[in-house]
A and B are shown apart, each in its own frame.
Chain A
Amino acid sequence: MPDLQITHIRPTQGWAALNLKDLWLYRELVYFLTWRDIKVRYKQAILGIAWAILQPLLTMIVFSIIFGGLAKLPSDGIPYPLFSYAAVLPWQLFSSALHRSSVSLVGNANLLTKIYFPRLIIPFSAVMASLVDFGIAFLVMIGLMLYYQVWPTLLILWIIPLTLLALLTALAVSLWLSALNVLYRDVQHMIPFLTQFWMYASPVAYSADLIPTGIWRIIYGLNPMAGVIQGFRWALLGTRPPDIMMGISIAIVLILLVTGLFYFRRMEKTFADRV
């Protein structure tokens, strides 16, 4: 008799264990769902992959005209288009990951009600799918840097942990939002506003140096994306390195992520009945 996998089904009471091992067992499903999201997105669009370039590029151009050209916001001595694109890059990664991931459970209702797999896979793979757009947009960044003759240094390697931090931020927030969206569909109407407000609270169009030092910077750092964006500018363009804001950002992300994971697990058992 071969070794049989033994499953014990019991009602879980209150807070469930995270059971992240299960997530590892189902890693191929993460891969396939991510692959599906990417494939479907580009198949349905006439311009296909061009959108990944157009979106950040057009945003950058609008910012350059309004904030750089008309409002003449300071850009730390960097050409404004470069300055804003370096921020639009992580911002769009974050906002698209957040949006996709937050509506992912409801969007995959047919799977949730039919088949068992660790539910965390759904928001997780939605976040991962945003990486492809980011990769393409990043190539444009390199192009812009060459055009403005700003040569990258070894600091550029910091992009990797910073990107991870942006993804974790998106995941942490969307663990909350995706589970809440199953209960209340209001959440998905709220997300565009949320990301819009959040963008103005992040140094995308302006420099983080505009924030007065002291207590204000600490409060500003409560927004994890502030640290990420400041870090991106530093790693790509060599502006001022991240300061205390970064430490606070990381702490906040970790708190949101851990609480989000537990909340998600707690709500998980009702998804199939409520979605």
Chain B
Amino acid sequence: MSDIAIRAQNISKKYHIGMLHSHNDTLRDVIVSAFDREEHKRKALQAQIWAIKDLSFEVRQGEVLGVIGRNGAGKSTLLKILSRVTEPTKGVVDIYGRVGSLLEVGTGFHPELTGRENIYLNGAILGMKRREIASKYNDIVEFSEVGQFIDTPVKRYSSGMYLRLAFAVAAHLEPEILVVDEVLAVGDAEFQHKCLGKMSDVAQQGRTVLFVSHNMSAILRLTQETIVLDKGSMLMRGPSTRAVDFYLSSGFSQLGERTWVSEEIPADADPFVPIALRVKNAQGKVSDSLRSTEPITIEVEYSLNKSITGLRVGIYLLSTRGELVFTSFDTDDSVLFEKHATRAVGHYLSQCKIAADLLNEGRFIVGMNASSFRVKRYFQDEQALTFTVDAAGAPGMQWPEPRLGPLRPRLLWQIEHIKQ
């Protein structure tokens, strides 16, 4: 018996661009293109994308493998192939063991059903037997902390309760191979912490886990090895610390600027169209290496196809260790919030300034997102670009030792000589 859990050989997956969002594919289109030869030709020539291209890898039993990569690198497609949601166009995958997938928590939850009913339904959808669910029922309820509402329809749950219940069911699945995608991107900090804890329990039980995440600190904490994907191919595979470092430092060729082309923008971002994210130095030049003693400008350029009410465009700054340094939105200020309550169709630039003498030296990751609070998240890119901060002239440079922490603020100190 080999100790391989997953063996993928030369798998590729082709999508026709039109196929990705074919909601409007009606009979009419087919009839039109059958009669209209030009239209037909145009459709046939329409670009194809290889979401996964000639990818081969193996995962050993009990290994916890991380998968990282930009939006559109093929991570989700890979997980979909492994969980058999979609078939590869070419190539072969052999899987030894039952695969459980957490592609999205709460899949198959029905709002009209009670918590109890949804536990059974969701469990069955995730591949658990009824007896299995019944035996774990109490643990699931306890983990979810929604015990007293268990006979209430989940449509009356708060979004936090809903998530906790959904994750509780999924977390009690016991497949030999667990495939996880971004479950941790949701919920409050406490909940995320709990999820991470559960994930590391799973990993310690010797089960095989494939973990896709944008959360570098979670990747570092949970996985030993990580694959870096880019444009459907593997750029590297190595110990997670090296892979994360590689991804963060060399994965971004554009210096101080990240632009989005239409293929990278998911269909549900509409009407929000991200154009570019830039980091500028004090002279107003786009740059990826900045001085901590000078203000840094971060700007988001985007356009709106329709007007949006309550839109907020935000940035977050992370350290390369995965710590969130801060989150900030362009309508944080109440005056701007009132003034831009509704943004009309058009082209926009949201710009902010990070004060001088705030950041420590090192690399930082800038993420951006556009959402309407509690309505919809239009677009998110958690690692849009990185930049380096040079601490020359920063406070405390007289001592040649590294300062810990992502910040190195110049604080106003006073020293009083109180007594002789």
Least CB distance from B114 to A in Å reads: 10
A183-B130 in contact (CB<8A): no
Complex Cα spacing A237 to B23, Å: 48
B176-A111 in contact (CB<8A): no
Complex Cα spacing A4 to B20, Å: 34
Complex Cα spacing A12 to B94, Å: 15
In the complex, whether A59 has a CB less than 8 A from a CB of chain B is no
B26-A9 in contact (CB<8A): no
B86-A274 in contact (CB<8A): no
Residues on A with C-beta less than 8 A from B362 are: none
Complex Cα spacing A43 to B201, Å: 38
Chain B 1-39, CB-CB to A under 8 Å as 1, else 0, gives 100000000000001000110110111101000000000
B83-A274 in contact (CB<8A): no
Interface centre among A7, A113, A185 (most CB of B within 10 A): A7
Complex Cα spacing A7 to B5, Å: 10
Residues on A with C-beta less than 8 A from B87 are: 9, 11-12, 269
In the complex, whether B84 has a CB less than 8 A from a CB of chain A is yes
Least CB distance from A39 to B in Å reads: 7
Complex Cα spacing A269 to B87, Å: 6
Which residue of A115, A183, A273 is within 8 Å of B125 (Cβ)?
A115
A32-B91 in contact (CB<8A): no
In the complex, whether B85 has a CB less than 8 A from a CB of chain A is yes
Which residue of A7, A185, A273 is within 8 Å of B86 (Cβ)?
A273
A8-B89 in contact (CB<8A): no
Least CB distance from B388 to A in Å reads: 39
In the complex, whether A21 has a CB less than 8 A from a CB of chain B is no
| A16-75 interface (Cβ within 8 A of B) | 28-29, 31-33, 35-36, 39-40, 43-44
B81-A9 in contact (CB<8A): yes
Residues on B with C-beta less than 8 A from A35 are: 121
A115-B176 in contact (CB<8A): no
B30-A117 in contact (CB<8A): no
Residues on B with C-beta less than 8 A from A40 are: 110, 112-113
Least CB distance from B36 to A in Å reads: 17
In the complex, whether B115 has a CB less than 8 A from a CB of chain A is no
B1-A39 in contact (CB<8A): no
Least CB distance from B75 to A in Å reads: 15
Q: How large is the interface on A (under 10, 10 to 19, 20 to 34, 35 or more residues)?
A: 35 or more
Complex Cα spacing A265 to B125, Å: 20
B121-A274 in contact (CB<8A): no
In the complex, whether A197 has a CB less than 8 A from a CB of chain B is no
Chain B 67-88, CB-CB to A under 8 Å as 1, else 0, gives 0000000000000111111111
Which residue of B26, B27, B107 is within 8 Å of A111 (Cβ)?
B107
Complex Cα spacing A110 to B397, Å: 55
Tell me whether A184 and B120 are in contact in the complex, defined as CB-CB below 8 angstroms, given that A36-B110, A272-B86, A274-B25 are known contacts.
no
In the complex, whether B315 has a CB less than 8 A from a CB of chain A is no
Residues on A with C-beta less than 8 A from B1 are: 1
Complex Cα spacing A274 to B87, Å: 13
In the complex, whether B92 has a CB less than 8 A from a CB of chain A is yes
Least CB distance from B352 to A in Å reads: 36
Name the residue of chain B whose CB is nearest to the CB of A9: B93
A114-B93 in contact (CB<8A): no
Complex Cα spacing A267 to B135, Å: 37
In the complex, whether A154 has a CB less than 8 A from a CB of chain B is no
Residues on A with C-beta less than 8 A from B108 are: 110-111, 114-115
Task: Please list the residues of chain A having a beta carbon within 8 angstroms of any beta carbon in chain B.
Answer: 1, 4-12, 28-29, 31-33, 35-36, 39-40, 43-44, 110-117, 183-186, 269, 272-274
Task: Please list the residues of chain B having a beta carbon within 8 angstroms of any beta carbon in chain A.
Answer: 1, 15, 19-20, 22-23, 25-28, 30, 80-99, 101, 103-104, 107-108, 110, 112-113, 117, 120-121, 124-127, 129-130, 153, 176
What are 8 contact pairs spanning A and B, CB under 8 A?
A5-B97, A9-B93, A11-B88, A32-B125, A35-B121, A39-B117, A44-B112, A186-B27
